[in-house]
Amino acid sequence: MVAQPERAPKAMVTSTNEHATNAGIEILKKGGNAVDAAVAVAFALAVVHPEAGNLGGGGYLLVRMADGRAKLIDYGARAPQISKEGIFPTAKDAQVGYKSAAVPGTPAGMAMAHKMFGKLTWKAVLEPARRLAKNGFPASQRMELILRLQVPVMMPFLESAKLFLHGGQTPLKQGEILKQTDLAATIARMQKYGGQEFYEGETANRIAADMTANGGFITAVDLKDYQAIARDPLQTTYRGYPILTTVPSSSGGMAVVEMLNILENFDFPLGMEGSARHRHLLAEAMKRAFRDRLLHAGDPDYKKIPVALLTSKDYAKKIASGIAIEKATPSATLGAAPPDVSGLLGESENTTHFSIVDEEGNIISNTYTLSGFYGSQAIMKGTGVLMGNIFGAFSGGGKKVLPAGQRPASTMSPTIVLDKNQKAWFALGSPGGSTIPNTLVEVLSNIIDFRMSLRDAIEYPRIHHQYLPDRIESEPGALPFEVAEKLKAYGQTLSLRYRSQGDVHAVMVE
């Protein structure tokens, strides 16, 4: 029996946590639109899914309104101004603790989106999250399991240990009620004074003071200077269907579009899904798009990126002509690798995504992150705000450094697909670090090429190739024996992943 997706007559919210999803539904029922619901979900996830949901991280919110207006809100975290070579005393400092944190973008991004597109008051859309933080919620089994792994790295951070480890080294257990009074008060201040309170008000003062007291790099000036950016999304078509996705600073959208453009040069008849030929062509498109990503990823405010070239149909046609149907192209023969890919291939997979469509046909896709599980592990004293470790993670573990003021070159790729009448069709996105673009391309192809239902398209086993290392990684079940043997005969190197690839959250208008 085929598993059926959840259905509703008017609107849909999907996220990784039922409390956050319910926060979005509550706002829709009060007359809010998809953007109002997105803000509610983002703040709620910071409360109930602290391994990745956040106020202390950053990400990308893609909005497409029913009237045709579309914007990408880039609220990627930024490197503090003190950033310079040699700033991390040890590799551990780059991965954990106060020094690993970048200037957060989430409050600014949500405030910008709400100001541009929201209907309800700012106070109203933050209320479900404030209430969850104040009244508490039962810890999930996943929270218990992840916290068990976090004990050794989280223990030294007193505010975090107090909240998540009973003040010592005993993690919360499933069903225990987690209340976050400091976080509730922080959200209440933002309800009263707006999102900028996080950057210039009492919350900013407390973050800056705790950073100073613990050797962190973020200053009051860094916070005050932070700005989210409204960008025009990257637009293309696949088999005639309009697609909107991210532009840099996220390089994920470029990779998605380049892969789709390459694949458009090949026919994928029904029944070809999962075959050796299909997997081979996917892998060959992936390795080429990822090489371009490694060469050109960056913050467009600091680096010239040839987005138009890399995402053009002509460029893809030229690339596709170099793909042999039954022979793998070794990555090394595609050209020299970039001299330094640290921070570009080791992106954390511990991110989260949510998608929303409302009754009017407004649709959003949002991916945001703390980087690693529970980010830096450090909650800023008196705020309840858990900071990400994005600065250290994108500084290659301290081997180099993310330049001052820059946003990291993320692969986060919130994406929206329209029908051929320019109406919202589906929105999707996923965590998964460097696997994100490939995951989304596979789901898109499953829906458009192979006419799968949304749920079947998401659950169909996936593969991954990222140019370096030169191998196809596969989920269990993605490469049956006969398919694997054929791929090896083509010259592909295979490697089995022992866990799932991505965690897609998508909504579709039937």
Catalytic residues: 351
Strands 363-369 and 463-464, bridge-based pairing = unpaired
What does 285-310 look like in DSSP terms, one character per residue? HHHHHHHHHHHH-S-TTTS---HHHH
CA 413, 414, 418, 422 torsion-angle sign: negative
What is residue 4's DSSP assignment? P
Residue 477 CA to residue 496 CA, distance in Å, equals 10
Of the candidates 459, 455, 431, 58, the one whose C-alpha atom is nearest the C-alpha of residue 252 is 431
Residue 197 CA to residue 111 CA, distance in Å, equals 11
Residue 334 CA to residue 272 CA, distance in Å, equals 27
Q: Is 238 helix (H, G, I), strand (E, B) or coil?
A: strand
CA 503, 504, 507, 509 torsion-angle sign: negative
What is residue 336's DSSP assignment? P
Query: For residue 478, which amino acid is it?
Result: A
Residue 434 CA to residue 30 CA, distance in Å, equals 38
Residue 122 CA to residue 191 CA, distance in Å, equals 6
For residue 8 the two structure tokens come to 């509703």
For residue 274, what are the CA distances in angstroms to 98, 255, 413, 500? 45, 21, 24, 17
CB 440 within 8 A of CB 256: yes
Of the candidates 38, 464, 65, 29, the one whose C-alpha atom is nearest the C-alpha of residue 285 is 464
Residue 64 CA to residue 54 CA, distance in Å, equals 23
